Structure 1
Amino acid sequence: MQPTAIASNPQPHIPHRIVIVGGGAGGLELATKLGNSLGRSGRAEVTLVDRDQTHLWKPLLHEVAAGSMDIHQHQLDYLAQARWHRFTFALGALSGLDRERREAIVAPVRDDEGAEVLPERRLAYDTLVIAIGSQSNDFGTPGVREHAFTIDQARDANVFHRRLVNACFRANFAADGSVLHIAIVGAGATGVELAAELHNTTRTLAAYGLKNFDPTKQIRITLIEAGPRILPGLPEYVAEETLKVLQSLGIEVLVNEKVVGITEEAVKTATGREVPGRFTVWTAGIRCADVLATLGLETDRINRLVVKPSLETTRDANIFAIGDCAAAPWTEGKTVPPRAQAAHQQSSHLVKTIKRRLAGKASQPYHYRDFGSLISLGHYDTIGQLMGFAGGGRMRVEGYLAKLFYVALYRQHIWALHGFWRMALDTLARLIKRQTEPKVKLH
């Protein structure tokens, strides 16, 4: 492996400047760990850039959309995290790079009325880490942007939930037995988990005074997948058991149905089928922000930054990429899958890498470890397959044990951000508080 060229400041006494763009699972954990070590010791200035002011763990977004989680109780303020962990937060979206001057360009920030809050800014870096995640891929399908919801961001998930609750209230007031059709396009983990959560939360919502609304008759959920089975890319066992649960709940699952258009009231497929969908949620595929294709760095067909095994971008040794926006090599020509566990591992690896760079040492390769897959079907079941046991074996898990492992993934993220004891106290506090709160968000 070729030694990494390490950027240095014109003035050696200035701390190493680390800029991290994207405050998702990987980016925020990286900023926190580097702030606690290099920032606290004065060896580096760590800056986190994000277009939002708060962080929410992305795998929770389907729960926010369904109403089984209150967004305001789980959001984390970037400014507060920066103060606690010795890094700086800059609000704004990445709009470009000046690689010659080693500057990240941050777009202006505007309020809801279009007034400029912050102007365009340039942040100097010695090491730049891009971790802006991914978004759903509409593949240019007509009507998606006009008539479908996405849940790529916390605000998107919250908007969907509010509108669905309002529709249930209207149906209850009308007392005419009208049916609310919910169509979910894409049967990956997000689509499947959203379908199950919606089945549960709409029934719970009706119990809070909606006497004229019967979700068993007035809610119809259809899950649409272009491929031959749900949960493509996950083990066959997980897909089969998940399908059984969904069908037992009365959720209609359609496979081999490629969506070719969406209208205000229906989803059209290539076979000529029209699936009713007054509320359509698009969760199919992923792609990364178009800005990544304008940076002069190597990208793939969905705008991911192509990186070396060390997570360095192929055209600039001072720029790294982690998480969903990184096309990191794995095995058999595959890239590391876009999962929270990968972002967590990559952030931990990059902490070591950056410290090696400061010591004048070459970067080491990152090796992804697949610990398995878990699918949460909310109140009904959790199904998964864990890997990494003795001899490289696999273990199938379901029910309460699988749920514990699933919850542990989020707790691990909280641990990385706040430390063990604050994580433990937070877990206990939430368990107590749940006893005095509605089981579903009512607004």
Structure 2
Amino acid sequence: MHSKIVIVGGGAGGLELACKLGRKLGPGQVMLVDSRLYHIWKPSLHEVAAGTLDIHQEGLSYQMLAHDNGFTYVYGALTALDAPGKQLTVAAIATAEHEEVLPERRIGYESLVLAIGSTSNYFGVPGAEEHTISLNATEDAERFRLTLLKLLTKAALKKGAPDAGQDGVDIVIIGGGATGVELAAELREASGVYAAYGFGQLEPMKDVRITLLEGAPRILAPLPERVSAAALKLLQERAIKVVTGTRVTAIGAAQVTAGEGGQPDQLYPADIVVWAAGIKAPALLSTLGLPTAKGGQLEVDGTLAVKGHGNIYALGDCALCLGADGKAVPPRAQAAHQQADYLAQTFLRQARGKPPQSAPYVYKDYGSLVSFGQTSSVGSLMGSLKGLSWFVDGFVARLMYVSLHLMHHQAVLGTVRTGVLALARFLIKRSTPLVKLH
């Protein structure tokens, strides 16, 4: 197989780039490689984990997207790269019974874009990898949801039994960034819905105990203090225990150990633990023979080209891109979206025989929004003047948050289909449970 432009990774940035190029250049010139069959917008994984979003309704088939947007899709994981030979290797695909469906394949390219995202960074905490769930992909979110359903069922059956001890479910979320905060809020909202759908014995506020642990002095530390304070207030109103300035030192099968320097360790009971305390580059990147930074990301220049490799580019979480201030571009969906737009122009100019873009990629921070369930959000919006921002919350902020998801859909589906899809999901929610129960 061969394609003029090969994009590895169908996350927000990689998929948007494939769609924009495919619509202009066609399947003979644009190829997307991904290890999964369907796409989920990663910022919505906390909703999948809580059960308020059904991946079987939300997921977008890469094969469908390839057909509709004019690119070629290859199913499989990148395993090796021959940069001098301009060739990459994609792993074989097999069933659960080890029956090979697709063989190992080699793909030639003229230009390569790596957009394989990130994975969890456990910082060497004992037991973290073995005893926690990280929301890196849809299968992680589904594993959390099914585990939670099992725990709720057991807790409901034990409720009121003489030997039950402390009834209910203990959920510990490690990391007070956007993922941890959004998951905590979504779980609190979902717990009430679960109680209404067959778990009536449980009192959500009392029996579904949610604890959020954060090492920094406040949650949502990168965001303005007013946003952090508003988020803390909303979590506390939802009976979510928030502990800041604490460091997790060990995680076991049934508890989390954490504490401050010089203070006795605290033990937090945990039936299920979510790790949302940090990310790092996938280990695969260090095996490709490309320059990587201390954190494992690929080092790129101002045009998003991997240093020393003019025909290989990287975007999103897997790329270390430095801004004009010397700081790394943050690993956010809006950064991947902007980088996809920049690279789309790079490749379209090449295809039309025009000179390269004269201006380097510059990250523009438009602010951040954090979801607090299906009816409320909180965040800050950045103005066109440096340092100017507006605090937003409540229903208006929620509408803005939802619009971000719709903007991503519009980029890969088009305006009309995004509108139809949004209407269809609105109607489906009126005829199905508010949470996924199976």
TM more than 0.5: yes
Instruction: Read off the aligned partner of 2:103 and give its amino acid letter.
Output: P
CA contact (8 A) 1:357 1:363 kept: no
Q: Does 1:244 align with 2:233?
A: yes
CA contact (8 A) 1:384 1:397 kept: yes
CA shift for structure 1 position 328: 0.9
1:424 counterpart residue number: 419
Q: Does 1:227 align with 2:227?
A: no
CA shift for structure 1 position 356: 2.1
2:363 counterpart residue number: 368
Map 1:128-207 to 2 at 5 A. 128-176=112-160, 178-207=167-196
Deviations 1:189-226 (A, max 9, x none): 00000000001101110011223222222111000111
Structure 2: distance between partners of 1:242 and 1:21: 36
Q: Does 1:58 align with 2:42?
A: yes
CA shift for structure 1 position 83: 1.2
Instruction: Read off the aligned partner of 2:25 and give its amino acid letter.
Output: L
- Choose which of 279, 283, 286 in structure 1 pairs with 2:276: 283
CA contact (8 A) 1:53 1:77 kept: yes
Map 1:40-51 to 2 at 5 A. 45-51=29-35
TM-score, normalised by the number of residues in structure 1: 0.93
Comparing 344-353 and 295-304, the one that deviates more: 295-304
Structure 2: distance between partners of 1:389 and 1:302: 31
Structure 2: distance between partners of 1:20 and 1:143: 35
Q: Which secondary structure state, in structure 1, belongs to the residue aligned with residue 311 of structure 2? A: strand
2:163 counterpart residue number: none
Deviations 1:266-323 (A, max 9, x none): 1112541111111100111111111101112111222111111110111201000011
CA contact (8 A) 2:7 2:113 kept: yes
Deviations 1:125-170 (A, max 9, x none): 1010000111121112211222111111001101110110121112
From the superposition, tell whether residues 227 and 18 of structure 1 become closer, same or farther in structure 2 (CA, over 3 Å): same
Q: Does 1:355 align with 2:342?
A: no
1:338 counterpart residue number: 331
Structure 1: distance between partners of 2:231 and 2:10: 31
Structure 1: distance between partners of 2:103 and 2:222: 43
Instruction: Read off the aligned partner of 2:270 and give its amino acid letter.
Output: G
Structure 2: distance between partners of 1:320 and 1:206: 49
Q: Which secondary structure state, in structure 1, belongs to the residue aligned with residue 210 of structure 2? A: strand
**Aligned residues: CA RMSD:** 1.7
Structure 2: distance between partners of 1:392 and 1:235: 11
Instruction: Read off the aligned partner of 2:104 and give its amino acid letter.
Output: E
Map 1:250-269 to 2 at 5 A. 250-269=239-258
TM-score, normalised by the number of residues in structure 2: 0.94
From the superposition, tell whether residues 263 and 300 of structure 1 become closer, same or farther in structure 2 (CA, over 3 Å): same
Deviations 1:351-401 (A, max 9, x none): 100122232522441111111010111146311111134676321111111
Q: Which secondary structure state, in structure 1, belongs to the residue aligned with residue 245 of structure 2? A: coil
Q: Which secondary structure state, in structure 2, belongs to the residue aligned with residue 442 of structure 1? A: coil
Q: Which secondary structure state, in structure 1, belongs to the residue aligned with residue 277 of structure 2? A: coil
Comparing 90-99 and 406-415, the one that deviates more: 90-99
Structure 2: distance between partners of 1:143 and 1:165: 23
Structure 1: distance between partners of 2:437 and 2:365: 38
Q: Does 1:302 align with 2:295?
A: yes
From the superposition, tell whether residues 89 and 301 of structure 1 become closer, same or farther in structure 2 (CA, over 3 Å): same
Q: Percent identity?
A: 45
1:22 counterpart residue number: 9
Q: Which secondary structure state, in structure 2, belongs to the residue aligned with residue 312 of structure 1? A: coil
CA contact (8 A) 2:172 2:212 kept: yes
Instruction: Read off the aligned partner of 2:56 and give its amino acid letter.
Output: H
Structure 2: distance between partners of 1:431 and 1:389: 34
Matched residue pairs, number?
Answer: 427
CA contact (8 A) 2:152 2:168 kept: no
CA shift for structure 1 position 331: 3.8
Instruction: Read off the aligned partner of 1:225 and give its amino acid letter.
Output: E
Instruction: Read off the aligned partner of 1:308 and give its amino acid letter.
Output: D
From the superposition, tell whether residues 156 and 342 of structure 1 become closer, same or farther in structure 2 (CA, over 3 Å): same
* Ranges in structure 2 where 5+ consecutive residues have no aligned partner: 161-165
Instruction: Read off the aligned partner of 1:319 and give its amino acid letter.
Output: I
Instruction: Read off the aligned partner of 1:287 and give its amino acid letter.
Output: K
2:377 counterpart residue number: 382
- Choose which of 15, 18, 22 in structure 2 pairs with 1:35: 22
